[in-house]
Structure 1
Amino acid sequence: MPWTLPSSPSRRSLLAGAAGVAGAALLTGCSDDRPAAGESVIPLERRMREAAVRDSARLLERYDATAAAHPALAGRLAPLRAAVAAHSAALAPAPAGSPSPSASRSGGTGAAAPAPGGEPVSPKPAEALTALADAERSLSEARTIDLAGAPGELARLLASVAACGAVHAYLLTSTPGATS
């Protein structure tokens, strides 16, 4: 017996369709992604960039504290610090009506002896360099982890900055002028 299309939908199919539409409307209505009154939406990339700039600023403070505690290391630290400042500038989000964080705000006053977080810089230069290398390594690893959630262009920038941080960690713990 050939199958034929019914001339009008059955009451059962109409009720099932209406229930499906109502269920879908309820499900989409449950997740209200709109911001509350007075609350603003900050795009993911901007939040990631602002966090990266804050991290770079803390690292710059650590460089400044180490150079202040060990003036003899200032020349060795200067190019690495300049690179971190350049990273901060490159990571800064584009201005959107409000001033963006700047690498120059945390710049070298040379007056701070404690590192960020109140942790004092070691009085031994080798230990101070090791602590700075650990900070570079830790930030490099954190940026590598952040790659997974970053939008394309920011992910490429974070990868580059993370690689540079790993090189800084190596340079800080290697003996200058020594050959392997």
Structure 2
Amino acid sequence: MPWTLPSRPSRRSLLAGAADAAGAALLTGCSDGGGPSGTDAGVSLERRMRETAVRDSERLLERYDATAAAHPALAARLAPLRSAVAAHAGALASADAPADRTASSAPPSPSTSSAAAGAPVAGAEPVPPKPEEALTALADAERSLAEARTVTLAGAPGELARLLASVAACGAVHAYLLTSPQGDKP
């Protein structure tokens, strides 16, 4: 019997691929050899990287909120993934960041959100009008951020690099779950 490729990658192969990419990024870290740029010389590299990562997570939370508001039927499916992204924002926040900067783990109710199907969120892409397309767009955002974090971790200090690798792997799993037929089952 001839061997055929599976139609979808397994969760284990996704995590292994993310780990391989993270390892490759660590081994091939590139630098121009120069020191830190003149911007915010008093602010540590780790703090700047953490602040950027938190902002990225907050933008992703806005996308989750806009998608849930535009497609209320998806809210329950998105809630655990959104909660994980909020936890990532909290974990990435530096110890000296103000407490109100980190995102809440509770999603806003669709009735209080101003987003509607196809309406843009401030500074974000519009939510597609069809639920399947909205899930694909959210998966693309998760995948893109996971890839960016995988690249970024090469220049991150040790503990932050490990955290970014974990969060990137989780983002890759979120992207899979958002587009997987098994992801829509409770």
Output the TM-score relative to the length of structure 1.
0.72
Instruction: State the match for 1:90 in structure 2.
Output: 91
Q: How does 1:110-149 map to 2 (within 5 A)?
A: 110=110, 111-113=113-115, 114-149=120-155
1:21-45 alpha-carbon deviations (Å, 9 max, x no partner) = xxxxxxxxxx9x8x89xx7610000
Give the secondary-structure state (helix, strand or coil) at the position aligned to 1:133: helix
Q: CA deviation at 1:106?
A: 9.6
- Cα pair 1:62 1:116 within 8 Å, conserved: no
Query: What is aligned with 1:161?
Result: 167
Deviation at 1:145, TM superposition (A): 0.3
| Rg larger in structure | 1
What is the rounded CA distance, in whole Å, between the counterparts of 2:79 and 2:47 in structure 1?
A: 29
Query: 3-state DSSP class of the match of 2:152?
Result: helix
Report the CA distance shift for 1:103/1:177 in structure 2 as closer, same or farther (over 3 A).
closer
| Structure 2 counterpart of 1:6 | none
Match of 1:172 in 2: 178
Distance change >3 Å, CA 66–CA 102, structure 1 → 2:
same
Report if the CA contact (8 A) 2:83-2:105 is conserved: no
CA distance in 1, matches of 2:164, 2:51: 13
Equivalent positions of 1:1-180 (< 5 A) are: 41-95=42-96, 99=98, 101-104=101-104, 108=108, 110=110, 111-113=113-115, 114-176=120-182
- Distance of aligned partners of 1:177 and 1:60 in 2 relative to their CA distance in 1, 3 Å threshold: closer
In structure 2, C-alpha distance between the alignment counterparts of 1:94 and 1:84, rounded to whole Å: 18
Q: The residue matched to 2:123 in structure 1 has which SS? A: helix
Larger RCO, structures 1/2 (Cα 8 Å, 6+ apart): 2
Structure 1: distance between partners of 2:83 and 2:65? 11
State the shift of 1:91 in Å: 0.2
Unaligned runs of 5+ in 1: 1-30
Following superposition, the deviation at residue 177 of structure 1 comes to: 6.3
Separation of aligned partners in 1, 2:157 and 2:93: 15
Deviation at 1:173, TM superposition (A): 0.3
Q: Deviations over 1:1-36 (max 9, x none)?
A: xxxxxxxxxxxxxxxxxxxxxxxxxxxxxx9x8x89
- What does residue 11 of structure 1 align with? none
**Identity in percent:** 71
Q: Spell out, residue by residue over 1:89-119, the C-alpha distance to the aligned partner (whole angstroms, 9 max, x if none).
A: 0000111xx6263112995254132245242
Count residues in correspondence.
Answer: 145
Instruction: Note closer, same or farther for the CA distance 1:105–1:168 as it changes in structure 2 (3 Å cut).
Output: closer
- 1:13 corresponds in structure 2 to none
User: Within 1, Cα distance between the matches of 2:103 and 2:179?
Assistant: 25
Q: Provide TM-score, normalisation by structure 2.
A: 0.69
